Structure 1
Amino acid sequence: MTGGRQRARRGRSHLRRRPGHAVLAALLVVAAASGCAAEAGDTGTGQGAKLQAGQPGAPADAPAAGALGTRAAQAERAKLAQAARAVAAKKWGLASTPLAPPAPPAVKPHITTRKGFEVEGQDDSLPPVFTTVPTKDKVVFLTMDDGDDKDPELLKMMSELNIPYSAFLSDYLVRDNYTYFKDAEARGVTLNNHTLNHRYMPGLSYEEQKREICDQQDIIEKQFGKRPRLFRPPYGNYNTDTLKIAKSCGITAVPLWAEEAFPDHMEWREEDLDLHPGDIILTHFRGKKDWKGSMPDLIRSVMKTVTDKGYAVARLEDYV
């Protein structure tokens, strides 16, 4: 049985700017909050980049070396980082300040394929297909697909707000500007597999699927230095061959989505039309040429829903 069956819809307002001194104040607060974190190198997230406060994937309350490693100092750093996030939220026109996620779990949760999403011959050897990560933390995960719209304002916005997100890339949309995604990766974004050409997997032969999935693995590794662990099939459609091939070239999990975000609304998989701990939110790298809004507009909209419901955005790869 295949996963989600809906196709994502395609569809920039002027960004509210704060006076220069407010922006400078935010940067100073971030610098104070980061302290020794810049020297910590890999934070255990699997990224080689040195993540600092204000970058996705760098938890606001992550332990630091020396004096900042004390509990009181960590609490002060978290307070300062959240103050910086509040300033950034005003700068970028968010309705309220995003909540800070808890520290990542010491042990990642055990994930299994969601009931009803199994394939013929399903067993535990295949990568699990899921829409929600099992956790009691009041967190959700933001994911962006394809890679068409490459808005530099998105990179600035997410870094200043310190909101983590995961990218699932299709090479035919990314190859014209790998540099944009190298910048995103340097800011803490994990780059995952969404096939070469965004084709409907169950309609392809085994060899065609292998080219779409495994060749994209090779390209991402060559261009960005790391082979993905996560794969999302286009449109959420897959079959047994899809999962076997994905496993054969290094994929360990297949996250789909529980909600899909647009600049003007949210679409829900569950009948209660609500968020749940561990839900994965899908959206796309798309702008005004595809929908009524820019990437920053999209973030303003989805973060209002997330924050109003009392959730924080956490980093998917910290849990999967």
Structure 2
Amino acid sequence: MDRKIVAWAALTVVALLVTGCSQPADADAPPPAALSSKPAGSPTSPADAKPSTAPDTAAAYRKWGLKPFAAPPAPPKVKPVKRTPGGPVPVISDIPTNEKIVFITIDDGAEKDPAFVRMMKDLKIPVTMFLTDSAIRTDYAYFEPLAGLGNGVANHTLTHPNLRTLGADAQRREICGQQTKLKERFGKTPRLFRPPYGNWNEATRAAVGQCGAEAIVLWRESMQIKNMQYQRGDKKLHPGDIVLAHFRGPAELKGTTMTQMTANMLRHIQEQGFTVARLEDYV
């Protein structure tokens, strides 16, 4: 064989080994502790993942004063939270896992800051939006690009009442009514429900199941302006914790914007060695 051909073939093999290719990934006062528990075992890092070093990712995070997060672990093949056939819907404030992951949830929808949409497009961090119709009806379209990014759309009632003060029929109207509105607007019936203020009773639980939702989602930490409020005495995040934030702006945040509040929240999560996973992958 010609020596030039052999040399060319060898160089081609080396180039293929160096460049390689990668497989893309598939695309309020705190309530009492919820009815969930952690499995035995010590916490583990998120699949030993390291923060992305891609220049475009690093630049996007730098724009918001942040460092890239570690990639979350692959979602479990079997969701750890699910409704028992014929049983009541589960009530959760955390997810049973040993992975160092948390889940971000954002409530209401009153603040509609365009910069927050840009932030979510840049950071690609999954959140679940628990939306109240009375807060979002003036601009449903604001939430469409956020939903288009794969962020969850979930039910937070029509008018944000304290459900404990309402009878069973009124609770069903609040919950089922918002199920219908969100399906009409965003194309899917919400699977998750959060009661305003974290207040619920067994009538709430029954109505959630009757209206087609699959779980009542509470929280373990709530983000304020610069700091988090913790339910546990150790004042720390735990694997699988659900974190509460709100669509709020400078009027409610003492001059702080929603993007600044979100950046503060993400720093708290990252500084404690956690990354962010998608809630709907686990419930």
| TM more than 0.5 | yes
**Contact residue 155 and residue 190 of structure 2 kept, 8 A:** yes
Q: Does 2:282 align with 1:311? A: no
Q: Does 2:226 align with 1:254? A: no
**Contact residue 258 and residue 280 of structure 1 kept, 8 A:** yes
> Using the alignment, how far apart are the partners of 1:110 and 1:235 within structure 2?
22
Cross-structure match for 1:109: 80
> Using the alignment, how far apart are the partners of 1:294 and 1:245 within structure 2?
36
> Using the alignment, how far apart are the partners of 2:57 and 2:124 within structure 1?
7
Q: Deviations over 1:116-175 (max 9, x none)?
A: xxxxxxx97111111110011110000000000011111111221111100000000000
Deviation at 1:97, TM superposition (A): 2.8
> Using the alignment, how far apart are the partners of 2:263 and 2:277 within structure 1?
17
TM-score (norm 2): 0.80
Name the larger-Rg structure. Answer: 2
Deviation at 1:86, TM superposition (A): 2.0
> Using the alignment, how far apart are the partners of 2:143 and 2:214 within structure 1?
22
> Using the alignment, how far apart are the partners of 1:291 and 1:146 within structure 2?
15
**Contact residue 85 and residue 98 of structure 1 kept, 8 A:** no
Note the residue ranges of structure 1 that are not aligned, 5 or more in a row. Answer: 1-33, 44-74, 114-122
Q: Does 2:61 align with 1:89? A: yes
> Using the alignment, how far apart are the partners of 1:234 and 1:204 within structure 2?
12
TM-score (norm 1): 0.71
> Using the alignment, how far apart are the partners of 1:278 and 1:227 within structure 2?
25
Q: Does 2:283 align with 1:298? A: no
Q: Does 2:267 align with 1:282? A: no
TM-align CA RMSD? 2.5
Deviation at 1:253, TM superposition (A): 0.7
Cross-structure match for 1:199: 161
**Contact residue 229 and residue 253 of structure 1 kept, 8 A:** yes
Deviation at 1:80, TM superposition (A): 5.7
Mapping for residues 39-118 of structure 1, pairs under 5 Å: 43=27, 79=52, 83-94=55-66, 96-110=67-81
**Contact residue 52 and residue 58 of structure 2 kept, 8 A:** no
Aligned length: 242
Cross-structure match for 2:148: 186
Note the residue ranges of structure 2 that are not aligned, 5 or more in a row. Answer: 1-20, 28-48
> Using the alignment, how far apart are the partners of 2:119 and 2:78 within structure 1?
30
Letter in 1 for 2:186: F
SS at match of 1:245: helix
Letter in 1 for 2:281: D
